[in-house]
Structure 1
């Protein structure tokens, strides 16, 4: 199960990179001077990446329905992966607020996203041979 979250790693790193790059290049401030509201700005990023995660979740759902989730409902599996993607978007928004340089944000943000799964690996014995 934990292998599938790696499919979300690249879009999350891109989201962190682009949002911090806009802050670094002062693009956001230029848009604010033209009348863009803060909520609309974040909503546009959220919708764009939610659509990407919807496609990714659909692909993962289709690929796993024959073997891993054979007896599960397709909509529940899709919603599970989609909500995971939405929470990853929120985590990347949180991570991007702490940085002003895009390269540093991508490195630390990606490691933080991977580090968020260490508690899962510490209590799950999926990879431990018996």
Structure 2
């Protein structure tokens, strides 16, 4: 909740594309580090990851909503975002299944974390190109 509220505030102040770049980039970097900080007992580095990931988890919602509204119009935003949410759930299901297959095949989840991290970094780059011709003021409507 804290991450979402803070992200909503930041979305009102800054370009949502840059915020998404920052969120996805940091999420990707944290996922690359995750296999090296997982221990069989509770460790401070694991707690730092948990706190960071918790703050970052839903932080993408406000800037994504703003971009959806700016590109597709306020009339379509709710329906489009509903489909974004459905797509996210389908992707999460596929990712969970894929991670399980990788775990069975390789013996741990490290490769799944690395693939997820790489996808976050690609997404971080891609969001900078959304509505490229529009200024931040135009995105706000």
Q: Same fold judged by TM-score > 0.5?
A: no
TM-score (structure 2 length as normaliser) = 0.37
TM-score (norm 1): 0.39
